[in-house]
Amino acid sequence: MRKNWIEESDELELILEAIHDDILIADADGVILKMSKSFETMYGVKREDTVGKTVFEMEEQGIFKPSITAIVLNTGEKTTMRQKNILGRDIVVSAVPIMDGNGKISKVISFSRDVTDYLAMQEQYHQMERKIQQYSAELQELRTKVGKKGDIVSESPSMTSLMNLVEKIASYDTNVLIAGESGVGKSMLAKYLHQTGSRYEEAFVEINCGAIPENLMESELFGYEAGAFTGAGKSGKAGLIEIADKGTLFLDEISELPLNLQVKLLKVLQDKCFMRVGGTKPIYSDFRLISASNRNLRQAVERGTFREDLFYRINVINLEIPPLRNRQEDLIQLIARFMEQYNIRYQENKKLSPQVYKCLLNYRWPGNVRELENIIERIIITSNGNEITEDALPEYLLKSMGDREPESFQEELVSFEPALSDSVHNLEKEQIIRAYQKHGTTAGVARELGISQPTAYRKVKKYIGIKKK
């Protein structure tokens, strides 16, 4: 009977030859009847040495570990399993019983597929996932420790002292009031406090109290219920205090907050509870408050435009950012940073002439860091050539220098020459070191800074003291 089945299966043989999967057919006694050509490669056996033998013999020889056909003959059910073949390859095998008219197994067909390479790729993927998780954890830890301090220049003694205090208080939830002129970086410092504090994973919600009309301020802060007023949304709206739950609420220019809202804010700070406009249900919000003002709040209290009890509530820790005119070391660093930033943004390679650099260092900067950044961006865009000369400076800046007493101004410049020389030296050193760290070669330094390679080599040797590459 078996002989007749084999003789009449020429068409089946052709099908097996065309199929890329590894297929083996055995009878009810486990005798191997047919196998595809690819089966030889999969299991390291030849068809002439395999056909006619039983799967039990092959199992004893270690060709199948175990034999899935033997399992199906025993259970009578379709089975899928993973095994290793004699060559050490990972194989996924499925076997299906074929029943005769009496409901008994007449044959078992098994299909094999080599998944070794797939499993190796899967393991590589999992390793990459683990590494990404590890790097993410390390990055988060670094972020927690460092935050965005890289955006805050603190080379001057006054800023160094301020940042030391910031490091001490960052992890505490106490209320902080940041004081300072417009443009000194109060918002940036508030974000740094949030990012280095215990709430860094939660929301940082910022609102400028002077930028929102008084009639809208209450609904922005506290939110509103549906139909609370004409034009209110149908589903209501959560206020910024509610959104800041578990995070940080930053009230910039808090001196502009109307007196009636100062009363409500004081109650929120005391109870951590409020109601939306038009609402009756109390809402609790656990947030850290950071406030900022460019006005003297003590004087505002004396004038009656700011509540004394609210002032003491928000002013637990006071951080005053000094104006840029009193931070010469920071000014030097900021000039270098903004020059690099906007040269990169606009694909330029411009340098400041000594005269322009001197003007920038001696200007009073009433608009502080914000004004300096705007000026640097402007002169990089509008100047001609690679060297920025005084022609590119705005007239008001040059005029402010000309308004000074000539003799006293000259005295200032003369007395400032040693410091200026040190500043230029430090700036040049910083640029050389940064360029060399980036490129690793003097040729790369020369290209980035627009100087000759011999000059780059001398500068690298001078500031870093390494051999030419």
Instruction: DSSP for 135-190, please give it.
Output: HHHHHHHHHHHHTTGGGS---SHHHHHHHHHHHHHTTS---EEEE--TTS-HHHHH
Say whether pLDDT at 410 is over 50. Answer: no
| pLDDT at residue 147 tops 70 | no
Report the percentage of the chain scoring pLDDT > 70.
Answer: 83
Query: Where residue 293 falls among pLDDT bands split at 50, 70, 90?
Result: very high
Q: Quick one: average pLDDT of 83-111?
A: 83
Secondary-structure breakdown of the chain: helix, strand, coil percentages, each rounded to the nearest 5: 55, 15, 30
- Is the per-residue pLDDT at 174 higher than 50? yes
- Tell the burial category of 327 from Cβ atoms under 10 Å away from its Cβ (0-12, 13-18, 19+): buried
User: Would you state the pLDDT for residue 149?
Assistant: 53
- Tokens for 281? 């249900």
- pLDDT the model gives residue 148: 47
137 has a pLDDT exceeding 90: no
Rounded to 5°, the CA angle 76-82-83 comes to 100
Which residue matches tokens 């939660």? 202
The whole-number average pLDDT for the span 431-445 is 81
pLDDT band at 14 (very low <50, low <70, confident <90, very high): low
What's the pLDDT band for 180 if we cut at 50, 70, 90? very high
Mean pLDDT of the chain: 81
Can you give the residue ranges of every domain in the chain? 2-114, 122-146, 149-322, 325-463
- The pair of structure tokens assigned to 109 is 């067909």
> Over 80: is that where the pLDDT of 418 sits?
no
- pLDDT of residue 366 exceeding 80, the answer is yes
Q: Which residue reads 């019983």 in tokens?
A: 97
Per mean pLDDT, which range of 65-69, 226-230, 232-236, 400-404 is the poorest?
Answer: 400-404
Res. 417: pLDDT tops 80: no
Fold of 149-322: Rossmann fold (3.40.50)
C-alpha to C-alpha distances, 437 to 86, 441, 448, nearest whole angstrom: 53, 9, 12
Per the model's pLDDT, the better-predicted residue between 191 and 124 turns out to be: 191
Q: What is the pLDDT of residue 352?
A: 93
> Higher-confidence residue: 397 or 375?
375
Higher-confidence residue: 460 or 331?
Answer: 331
* Type of residue found at 136: S
Question: Which residue, 167, 154, 250, is CA-closest to 203?
Answer: 250
With a cut of 90, say whether residue 250 has pLDDT above it: yes
* pLDDT for the residue numbered 44: 75
pLDDT-derived band at 138 (thresholds 50, 70, 90) equals: low
Instruction: Tell me what pLDDT residue 447 has.
Output: 77
Return the SS3 of 383.
coil
Q: Decide the pairing of beta strands 351-352 and 387-388.
A: parallel
Domains 149-322 and 325-463 share a fold: no
Looking at the predicted structure, is the pLDDT value of residue 402 above 60?
Answer: no
- In this predicted structure, what is the pLDDT of residue 67? 83
Query: Which comes out higher in pLDDT, residue 159 or 47?
Result: 159
At 237, the pLDDT band (50, 70, 90 cuts) reads: confident
| Most confidently predicted of 86-95, 98-107, 339-348 | 339-348
Alpha carbon distance 106, 98 (integer Å): 6
Residue 124 CB burial class (10 angstroms; 0-12, 13-18, ≥19): exposed
The CATH architecture assigned to 325-463 reads Orthogonal Bundle (1.10)
Q: What are 3's two structure tokens?
A: 């002989």
Mean pLDDT of 63-82: 84
* pLDDT reported for residue 406: 38
Range with the poorest average pLDDT among 59-73, 86-100, 131-145: 131-145
Q: Tell whether the model's pLDDT for residue 160 goes beyond 80.
A: yes
Residue 231: pLDDT above 70?
A: no
Altogether, the residues listed in the chain come to a count of: 469
CATH topology of domain 2-114: Beta-Lactamase (3.30.450)
Rounded distance, CA 463 to CA 266, Å? 56
Mean pLDDT of 373-402: 89
Read off the tokens for 344.
Answer: 């990169």
